């Protein structure tokens, strides 16, 4: 066990060496990755050293801020209370660490008499001075399980917060997998009688944030916290999990699983069963068996589904055929995978509404019904059937509503159901409920963009200018992140224009509208959202021109939505718009 672990970007190796030398001169045992021995598996050794260290000094620079490895190491250290960050270069730290006291050692040359260095050294010594029980427990997270200790309040029904597992793969593109594992463990634990589990919505609100277990216990009233990390490399996966008594911040159980991807379901089952054992819960055989029940049985299908779901929530309309192609493969491998049938249905319904050749609402309904037939307890199947019904004809919103309700009864944290509920409330012009549904969806899926864009329509309908502008600024922040990697993302571009309109940036909105038409001229959803934004900007001629470009391409159900869409209220008396709607009525 080392006194100090130094986390840094490879580009900063020279200055990291200065820190290591200075700490060692003070009699401290230092670990940094030049300590690796030939033949050692570097990621295993690094993770073991990170969790065992009494103090973790993170050197922030423009290079380390961009490093997924350094960010992940800082997150784990902060959760464990061992983080001591230092600035070695003027840069913007990750926002979750902006409120963490950070030593300013920009330009430090190795002078051990520098007052700034002495302050950092004092902090390291303070953490390194006590070989605490928590230190010893962190070794157990790597070397094996530790026998459970009795809870400080055995008579209290246990309540567990399962924090989103940290992605240690070094690639943000792997978040889909660590998030999926976390969600499934939450679902498994939620089936256990005699304990309560904090909802996915609340649990994921702490993703990327650093809050101490005792603070979480006080805030949420939980007795226990499960945290962990996931590292996936090819067909290998390593999952580390630790269960803490939140009130005393002591570890009750820890384990590391190094397996193939084929064992992912077994790992999830073992984690759940180990928690049951650590909390000394006595389950009936049928309850113990229910923990491992899931709609996926094939590991390859499971991973492909997680990828498809992430693409569907963050990718543009152009990616929708890929989502369906992935889901087709999923159900070939695992015909009973209800969520895959549902996702395929949602993608098909969206494309059919846009008039994409070869797609149909009938097919979307069939796949949604397959999802329900595979497992009626899965919320997404009912949400998919509701979406196909609504996209087929907005006038059928009364038929969609019970299906949305059925989905939410099965899973109150079903993202798709909350998004669809928002649309239904907009159609009814029930703006407060629409806002509540979209905001819930945003909380459930922090990386999505669709609900972020639609909620602005609710605030606009209410006439709440202040919150409308706040929602617009929020969307622009997320939209700019997506456009960095997909600059012609039609779904995002349409909502970006709407955001600019909400903020009074008329010239910018019109300029982006013209560019967006060039980027993705055959994207009917983009054209529609641009038209809505131009209608809000009181540019009826431009709005009607855009709507006219899509009029002969889209499903007739879209015109039913246009009839109730409050974004178009400003142009309803425009002759061109009236002619367009009349033509649709005769089709």
More confident residue, 34 or 519: 519
Give the phi and the psi of residue 41 in degrees, each rounded to 5: -80, 110
Lowest-confidence pick of 132-136, 315-319, 562-566 = 132-136
* Residue 564 pLDDT > 80: yes
* Residue 172 pLDDT > 90: no
Give the residue among 170, 193, 195 at the shortest CA–CA distance from 67. 170
More confident residue, 556 or 87: 87
- At 306 the pLDDT is 92
More confident residue, 47 or 105: 105
Is 587 in contact with 556 (CB distance < 8 Å)?
yes
**Rg of the Cα trace of the chain?**
26
- At 37 the pLDDT is 42
pLDDT in tens, 312-353: 888 888 889 999 999 999 999 999 999 999 999 999 999 999
Is 170 in contact with 69 (CB distance < 8 Å)?
yes
- At 2 the pLDDT is 79
Domains in the chain and their CATH numbers? 4-131 (3.40.50.10140), 140-294 (3.40.50.10610), 315-448 (1.25.40.10), 471-587 (1.25.40.10)
pLDDT in tens, 411-449: 888 999 999 999 999 999 999 999 999 998 988 887 789
- At 434 the pLDDT is 94
Helix locations, 279-396, DSSP H: 285-291, 299-314, 320-333, 338-353, 361-374, 379-392
- At 283 the pLDDT is 66
Mean of the per-residue pLDDT values of the chain: 85
Mean pLDDT for the stretch of residues 161-165: 90
Q: Which helix (H) or strand (E) holds 534?
A: helix 524-536
Lowest-confidence pick of 77-91, 189-203, 266-280 = 189-203
pLDDT confidence bin for 206, thresholds 50/70/90: confident
Task: Judge if pTM exceeds 0.85.
Answer: no
pLDDT in tens, 112-125: 877 788 889 888 88
Residue with tokens 């040359």: 109
- At 358 the pLDDT is 93
- At 140 the pLDDT is 37
Residue with tokens 């929708």: 320
- What residues are paired with 166 via a beta bridge? 229
Give the residue among 551, 556, 513 at the shortest CA–CA distance from 535. 513
pLDDT in tens, 225-262: 998 889 888 888 889 999 888 888 888 898 888 888 88
- At 363 the pLDDT is 97
Q: Tell me the C-alpha distance between 183 and 194, whole Å.
A: 20
Distance set, CA 240 to CA 180, 212, 243, 349 (Å): 15, 19, 11, 39
pLDDT in tens, 67-102: 888 888 888 888 788 899 999 998 888 866 766 778
Residue with tokens 């903020």: 503
Is 183 in contact with 294 (CB distance < 8 Å)?
no
Q: Tell me the C-alpha distance between 321 and 327, whole Å.
A: 10
* Residue 142 pLDDT > 60: no
- At 129 the pLDDT is 65
Mean pLDDT for the stretch of residues 496-525: 94
* Residue 35 pLDDT > 60: no
Q: Which helix (H) or strand (E) holds 231?
A: strand 224-233
Is 248 in contact with 213 (CB distance < 8 Å)?
no
Residue with tokens 């020279």: 14
Q: Which residues contact 280 (CB under 8 A, 6 or more apart)?
A: 148, 150, 154
The torsion defined by the Cα of 321, 314, 441 and 331, in degrees rounded to 10, comes to 40
Q: What's the CA angle centered on 295, arms 239 and 192, to 5 degrees?
A: 65
* Residue 131 pLDDT > 70: no
How far does Cα 456 stand from its chain's mean position? Answer: 21
């Amino acid at each position: 066990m080392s006194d100090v672990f130094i986390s840094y970007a490879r580009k900063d190796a020279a200055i990291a060496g200065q820190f290591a030398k200075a700490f060692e001169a003070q009699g401290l045992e230092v670990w940094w990755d030049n300590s690796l021995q030939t033949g050692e598996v570097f990621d295993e050794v690094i993770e073991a050293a990170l969790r065992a260290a009494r103090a973790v000094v993170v050197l922030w620079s423009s290079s380390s801020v961009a490093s997924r490895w350094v960010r992940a190491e800082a997150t784990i250290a902060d959760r464990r209370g061992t983080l001591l960050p230092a600035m070695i270069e003027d840069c913007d730290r990750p926002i979750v660490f902006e409120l963490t006291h950070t030593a300013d050692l920009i330009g430090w040359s190795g002078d051990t008499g520098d007052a700034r260095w002495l302050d950092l050294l004092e902090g390291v010594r303070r953490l390194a001075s006590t070989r605490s029980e928590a230190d010893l427990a962190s070794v157990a997270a790597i070397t094996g399980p530790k026998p459970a200790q009795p809870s400080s309040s055995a008579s209290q029904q246990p309540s567990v917060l399962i924090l989103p597992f940290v992605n240690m793969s070094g690639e943000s593109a792997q978040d889909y997998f660590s998030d999926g594992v976390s969600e499934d463990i939450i679902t498994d634990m939620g089936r256990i009688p005699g304990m309560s589990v904090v909802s996915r919505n609340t649990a994921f609100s702490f993703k990327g944030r650093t809050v101490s277990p005792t603070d979480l216990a006080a805030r949420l009233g939980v007795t226990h916290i499960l945290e962990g990390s996931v590292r996936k490399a090819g067909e290998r996966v390593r999952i580390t999990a630790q269960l803490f008594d939140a009130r005393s911040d002591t570890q009750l159980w820890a384990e590391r699983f190094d397996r193939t991807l084929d064992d992912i379901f077994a790992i999830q089952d073992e984690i759940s069963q180990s928690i049951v054992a650590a909390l000394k819960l006595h389950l009936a055989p049928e309850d113990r068996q229910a923990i491992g029940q899931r709609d996926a049985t094939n590991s390859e299908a499971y991973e492909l589904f997680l990828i498809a779901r992430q693409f569907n929530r963050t990718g543009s309309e152009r990616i929708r055929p890929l989502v369906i192609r992935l889901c087709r493969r999923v159900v070939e491998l695992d015909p009973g995978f209800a969520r895959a049938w549902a996702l395929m249905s949602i993608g098909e319904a969206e494309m059919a509404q846009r008039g994409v050749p070869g797609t149909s609402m009938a097919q979307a309904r069939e796949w949604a019904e397959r999802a329900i037939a595979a497992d009626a307890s899965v919320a997404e199947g009912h949400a998919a059937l509701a979406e196909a019904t609504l996209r087929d004809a907005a006038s059928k919103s009364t038929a969609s509503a019970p299906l949305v309700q059925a989905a939410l009864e099965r899973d109150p944290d079903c993202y798709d159901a909350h998004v669809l509920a928002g649309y239904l409330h907009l159609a009814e012009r029930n703006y407060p409920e629409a806002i509540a549904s979209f905001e819930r969806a945003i909380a459930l899926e922090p990386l999505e963009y669709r609900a972020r864009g639609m909620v602005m329509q609710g605030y606009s309908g209410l006439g709440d200018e202040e919150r409308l502008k706040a929602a617009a600024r929020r969307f622009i922040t997320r939209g700019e992140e997506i456009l960095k990697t997909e600059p012609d993302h039609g779904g995002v571009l349409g909502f970006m224009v709407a955001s600019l309109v909400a903020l009074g940036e008329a010239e910018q909105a019109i300029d982006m509208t013209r560019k967006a038409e060039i980027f993705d001229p055959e994207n009917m959803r983009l054209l529609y959202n641009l038209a809505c934004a131009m209608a809000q900007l009181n540019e009826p001629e431009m709005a009607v021109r855009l709507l006219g470009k899509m009029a002969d391409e889209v499903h007739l159900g879209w015109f039913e939505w246009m009839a109730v869409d409050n974004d178009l209220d400003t142009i309803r008396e425009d002759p061109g718009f009236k002619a367009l709607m009349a033509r649709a009525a005769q089709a």
